[in-house]
Amino acid sequence: MNAPVQGRYKDRNFFEKTVMLDGSGFTSCAFARCTMIYSGGEIPSLSGCRFDDCAWQFGGEAANTIAFLSGMYRGGFDRLIESTFHEIRRGAMVSQEQSAAPQPDTTAGKASFLKPLRIFRVPKQEQSS
């Protein structure tokens, strides 16, 4: 079996490779029938790349985050998760640097996204009658 691909590449073609995305950078590369794996490490850079019949897998901390969000959604925090995905669709970016302590938005029922670090506020849960 071939060693996984990881690192910085430009104008390369990859076929049936396992690609470790954490900390890697790919510019104008083509991937065909590859397995793309992100494990929650340093955010990869993918610029101008093409993907044909690739599988995407999440391991480690990334898998834990997805499991946590899934559990929250099923556990009654669906409004928070939907709000989070709304912000992702809008292009929300998370900065890994935090400046002065931001004050959370008090909008009920929505995730609060503040700059430079995005902060989530858990909405008040309605009581069942």
Residue 93 has pLDDT above 80, yes or no: no
Residue 59 has pLDDT above 90, yes or no: yes
My answer on whether 55 and 85 are in the same domain is no
Give the model's pLDDT for residue 91. Answer: 81
In a domain, 65, yes or no: no
3-state helix/strand/coil string of 1-40 = CCCCECCEEECCEEECCEEECCCCEEECCEEECCEEEECC
Question: What is the average pLDDT value for the chain, to the nearest integer?
Answer: 80
Give the model's pLDDT for residue 27. Answer: 96
My answer on whether 56 and 81 are in the same domain is no
In a domain, 85, yes or no: yes
My answer on whether 14 and 50 are in the same domain is yes
My answer on whether 16 and 55 are in the same domain is yes
What lies within 8 Å, CB to CB, of 44 at 6+ separation is 21, 22, 23, 24, 25, 26, 38
In a domain, 70, yes or no: no
- Structure confidence at residue 1 as a pLDDT band (50, 70, 90): low
Q: Report the predicted TM-score, pTM, of the whole model to 2 decimal places.
A: 0.68
My answer on whether 22 and 54 are in the same domain is yes
Residue 123 has pLDDT above 70, yes or no: no
What would the pLDDT profile of 24-41 be if each residue is shown by its tens digit? 999 999 999 999 999 999
- What is the number of structural domains in the chain? 2
In a domain, 3, yes or no: no
In a domain, 67, yes or no: no
My answer on whether 56 and 85 are in the same domain is no
Q: For residue 39, give its domain range.
A: 8-60
Residue 67 has pLDDT above 50, yes or no: yes
Label residues 14-33 b or e (16+ Cβ within 10 Å = b): beebbbbbbebebeebbbee
